[in-house]
Amino acid sequence: MKNTFIGSPVERREDLRFLRGRGQYVDDLAPEGLLYAVILRSSVAHGRIVSVDTKAALKIPGVHAVITANDMPGGPPIIPMRLQPLPEFKPFEQPVIASTKVRYVGEPLAVVLAKSVAIGEDALEAIEVEIESLPAVADWHVAAKNKNILFESQGTNRSLVFEARKGDADVIFASAPYVRREKMRTGRHYGLTLEPRGVMAEWDAARGRLTVSGAAKVPFFNRRILAKQINLPEDSIDMVENDVGGGYGARGEFYPEDFLIPFAARHVNRPVKWIEDRRENLMAMNHARETEAELEVACASDGTLLAIRGEIHTDMGAYMRTNGAVGARNVAQFLSGPYRVPHIKIDSSLWMTNKTPVGTYRGPGRFESSFYIERMLDMIAGDLGIDRVELRRRNLVTAAEQPYSIATIQPTNATDQYDSGDYRATLDRVLKEINWPEVSKLQGKLIGEKYHGLGVACFVEGGAAGPKETARLELNDDGTVSVFLGTSSVGQGVETVFAQIAADALEWPMERIRHVHHGSTSYVSDGYGAYHSRSTVMGGSAVLEATNHFQAAIREAGAKRLKCEAAAVKIDPDNVSGPDGQSFPLKELAGLTAEGAFLNKKHTYSYGAHAVHVTVDPKIGRIEIIDYVLVQDVGRAVNPLTLRGQMIGSLVQGLGGAVLEHLQYDEDGQFLTASLADYLLPTASDFPNLRCVILEDYPSPINPLSVKGAGEGGIVAAGGAIANAVANALQSFGVEPRQLPLTPTYIWELVQAGRQKQAAE
């Protein structure tokens, strides 16, 4: 039997349980004796803590304890960085609870443990906090003045400058025939998870064991941090992954609560649960994306890109969190996108401000940089009188140039190269899908109250390398097999995908893959997690490895029993047989288990193109999407159905960031968007007309499955594509959007400015 589950649109195994209401999220857990944790968060953006008085709160019936920094002998532990843990960042890392200073609205000050969340919230109002306010550093411009400093001992608000370097940009600029200079920015948004975060901890005092539910993304790494902070051996802690309602890079990183709740459980020797509410989700989970760039692009007169140079500034918020540096690095490293740019010199500064700290959000740095480069390409095309599609085609990296090296990043000396692909093919395909020759006749036309416009943008999506992933297969009594993984699920459908991979490799029916267990630290010896579009590539390849070892183990066991060479043993779904027809039922080997691992230092790069047709109402600034096509070559699509979900989902998130979502603060660092009435998330009716096309023309050469990470392609180029379409629609006003989100006010202002300029001329 030869299976073809890989490549088939197999329905998600997970769905049956979810649709029947049998999903189990961390909030569904309620062991006996449970206490509910509620967190008091700073309402002041920047200040010195004078006192936190919990006496009155403790008197409220139903309040069991209130924990503050004073309960932590030796002071609150610091959360170490996971990615780019440079010594320069050390002083800026976040303590698990504020003890001397608060640096953002939302920073934890105390944890109330109570009989119910409602009583806990009553108690919050009874805690008396005295904070001596300091002037707030509300954005990077203020930070750069270095007048008010978040970390006084550092003498500066800048934690680092990443440098992206390739060739010698200064020399090129000195003699370039054409240079365009622009200042642009992207708004602050975040990976809003429909299920907010949650942690439940249980302390078994007799056995000295801690069980932490609600783990996600990187449970093994987080266990390492927690073990150190709480002074327990790693193997005394179990991190348990439950069903997870969305990750997007933000969930599953180590946050203050990931220490506070286990600490509280041990402190009071009772199970303790904390479920983030939506307000907290908006102000406590990692923010992302807020950057400003001042860039120059040099071109030959035929539009050939020669060099990029400039500065990018990221508004980091108050602390360097676990993966906080990734966006600021990526925005510099991937500024050239899928384009051939021989000379690059970008300085990317990380500025500490009195806002919620940043971390990665799906397509970190790439969404921002794609907006910058794609906007500039359209402006350059206009200046040079070259068709913007042609300009892109000319500058896209060709298949012959692969593997293609991009800028090197300092101080980490990180190099990277794209693995394979014909980028022009996806551009050509997207134009064909949207019927470009026909719809392009509408460009800039006013029909009724609305102008029509088209936008196009190309992208690469990096994925999948880094720490080893491990998988283990175990034969069950009934002859089915269970798959155990260290990687985790954040709702992306990995149970289905891993079952497909295992069933194909074993040449067994899907039903024989009974369970796919993932994400908890007790399943395999080591693991890493779900981030950077890596689960399928790394975990999937590990499953493949494990199936090889599993089959070898069966052959070996079979050889012993059948008294023949292992190589001569045949395995079918039911029986193990030898060369002379002797055989025994496979299930007699129940308990047999084998592990496999996959390690890879190189990244995969899937790639593609977006094309969009919009209308813009110039008087009210409303954008409507008439048609949107996303084409992505993913090397190999294990499951086109779940992949399509990833593509459309990430595209909607990208459009949310491009048009609606914006985390706002005032100049005192007060957070203005603490509910979903203020932070506008796209809903099902906002972007109905989205299509996607999956290509598999260039398999990845660097993993046995030939797959490439593919969860971010929709988000990366959405800002650039839509902004280009708006510029194209409003060309008669000379509109060039230079910031996201494209709010009605901003579009209206651009149109007004255009009208005024025309009137003056």
Partner 1 sequence: MKLPQFEYACPTTLHDAVALLAARAGDAKALAGGQSLMPMMAFRIAQPALLVDLRKLPGLREIKVSGDGVRLGAMVRWRDIEDDARLASAHPLLKAAIAHVAHYQIRNRGTVGGSLAHADPAAELPGIALTCEAEIAVMGKGGARTIKATDFFLGALTTALEADEIITELRLPPWPQERAKSRRWGFQEFARRRGDFAMAGVAAFYDLDNSNKAMNTHIGVIGIGDRPHRLPAVEAMLNGRAIDDASIERVAAATSAAVEPQDDIHASAAYRRALVGTLVERALTSAAA
Choices 128-136, 275-283, 350-358, 562-570; region in contact with partner 1 by CB under 8 A: 275-283
State the minimum distance, in angstroms, from the CB of residue 71 to partner 1: 25
The label of the residue with tokens 């411009």 reads 141
Which residue in the set 86, 117, 268, 566 belongs to the binding site for partner 1 (CB under 8 A)?
A: 117
**In angstroms, what CA-CA distances link 724 with 162, 220, 366?**
28, 42, 17
State the minimum distance, in angstroms, from the CB of residue 6 to partner 1: 39
State the minimum distance, in angstroms, from the CB of residue 686 to partner 1: 6
* Size of interface with partner 1, in residues (CB under 8 A): 33
- Of 117 and 568, the one with the shorter C-beta distance to partner 1 is 117
Token pair of 734, please?
Answer: 């000379």
Residue 62 binds partner 1 (CB under 8 A):
no
Token pair of 747, please?
Answer: 């579009």
The label of the residue with tokens 């001397």 reads 100
State the minimum distance, in angstroms, from the CB of residue 38 to partner 1: 9
Angle of the 366-384 helix axis to the 326-333 helix axis, nearest 10 = 30
Token pair of 676, please?
Answer: 């979903």
Rounded to the nearest 5°, which phi and psi values hold at 487? -75, 165
- Residues 226, 230, 232, 235: what is their CA dihedral angle, to the nearest 10 degrees? -20
The label of the residue with tokens 């283990």 reads 472
Site map (CB under 8 A) of partner 1, residues 279-318, x = contact:
x---------------------------------------
- Of 51 and 664, the one with the shorter C-beta distance to partner 1 is 664
Residue 683 binds partner 1 (CB under 8 A):
yes
State the minimum distance, in angstroms, from the CB of residue 664 to partner 1: 5
- The number of beta carbons lying within 10 Å of the beta carbon of residue 605 is 31
- Closest by alpha carbon to 96, among 342, 248, 245, 274? 274
- Per DSSP, the three-state class of 227 is helix
Residue 243 binds partner 1 (CB under 8 A):
no
Site map (CB under 8 A) of partner 1, residues 120-139, x = contact:
-xx--x--------------
Residue 744 binds partner 1 (CB under 8 A):
yes
- Of 122 and 374, the one with the shorter C-beta distance to partner 1 is 122
State the minimum distance, in angstroms, from the CB of residue 279 to partner 1: 6
State the minimum distance, in angstroms, from the CB of residue 616 to partner 1: 14
- Of 610 and 662, the one with the shorter C-beta distance to partner 1 is 662
State the minimum distance, in angstroms, from the CB of residue 37 to partner 1: 13
Give residues 368-427 in contact with partner 1 (rule: CB under 8 A).
Answer: none
- Cα–chain center distance at 292: 20
Choices 211-219, 272-280, 485-493, 550-558; region in contact with partner 1 by CB under 8 A: 272-280
- Of 281 and 314, the one with the shorter C-beta distance to partner 1 is 281
Give residues 597-636 in contact with partner 1 (rule: CB under 8 A).
Answer: 619-622
Residue 530 CA to residue 221 CA, distance in Å, equals: 12
What is the 8-class DSSP label of residue 544? Answer: H
Choices 111-119, 176-184, 344-352, 451-459; region in contact with partner 1 by CB under 8 A: 111-119
Q: How do beta strands 178-186 and 446-447 pair?
A: unpaired
State the minimum distance, in angstroms, from the CB of residue 672 to partner 1: 5
Q: How do beta strands 158-166 and 63-67 pair?
A: unpaired
89 contacts: CB under 8 Å, gap ≥ 6: 81, 159, 160, 320, 325
- Of 118 and 552, the one with the shorter C-beta distance to partner 1 is 118
Ordered DSSP codes for 458-493: EEEEEE--EEEEEEEEEE-TTS-EEEEESS--SSS-
- Cα–chain center distance at 660: 19
- Of 269 and 683, the one with the shorter C-beta distance to partner 1 is 683
Which residue in the set 179, 439, 748, 755 belongs to the binding site for partner 1 (CB under 8 A)?
A: 748
Give residues 684-743 in contact with partner 1 (rule: CB under 8 A).
Answer: 685-686, 743
Rounded to the nearest 5°, which phi and psi values hold at 239? -105, 125
Which residue in the set 17, 115, 165, 278 belongs to the binding site for partner 1 (CB under 8 A)?
A: 278
- Of 390 and 678, the one with the shorter C-beta distance to partner 1 is 678
- The number of beta carbons lying within 10 Å of the beta carbon of residue 507 is 14
Q: Is 248:361 a contact under the CB 8 Å cutoff? A: yes
Burial 329-360 (b: 16+ CB within 10 A, else e): bbbbbbbbbbbebebbbbbbbbbbbbbbbbbb
Choices 48-56, 147-155, 493-501, 746-754; region in contact with partner 1 by CB under 8 A: 746-754
- Of 67 and 751, the one with the shorter C-beta distance to partner 1 is 751
Token pair of 476, please?
Answer: 């069950």
State the minimum distance, in angstroms, from the CB of residue 424 to partner 1: 37
Q: Which amino acid is at 459?
A: F
Rounded to the nearest 5°, which phi and psi values hold at 38? -130, 140
- Closest by alpha carbon to 605, among 716, 474, 746, 450? 716
- Of 454 and 722, the one with the shorter C-beta distance to partner 1 is 722
**In angstroms, what CA-CA distances link 624 with 429, 510, 567, 613, 627?**
23, 43, 63, 9, 9
- Of 398 and 683, the one with the shorter C-beta distance to partner 1 is 683
Choices 548-556, 562-570, 683-691, 716-724; region in contact with partner 1 by CB under 8 A: 683-691
- Of 718 and 747, the one with the shorter C-beta distance to partner 1 is 747
Q: Which residues pair with 370 in a beta bridge?
A: none
Q: How do beta strands 481-485 and 466-475 pair?
A: antiparallel
Give residues 649-678 in contact with partner 1 (rule: CB under 8 A).
Answer: 660, 662, 664, 672-673, 675, 677-678
- Of 600 and 673, the one with the shorter C-beta distance to partner 1 is 673
Q: Which residues pair with 40 in a beta bridge?
A: 110
Residue 238 binds partner 1 (CB under 8 A):
no
- Of 115 and 209, the one with the shorter C-beta distance to partner 1 is 115
Residue 603 CA to residue 406 CA, distance in Å, equals: 12
Give residues 445-474 in contact with partner 1 (rule: CB under 8 A).
Answer: 449
Residues that bind partner 1 (CB under 8 A): 116-118, 121-122, 125, 277-279, 449, 619-622, 660, 662, 664, 672-673, 675, 677-678, 680, 682-683, 685-686, 743-745, 748-749, 752
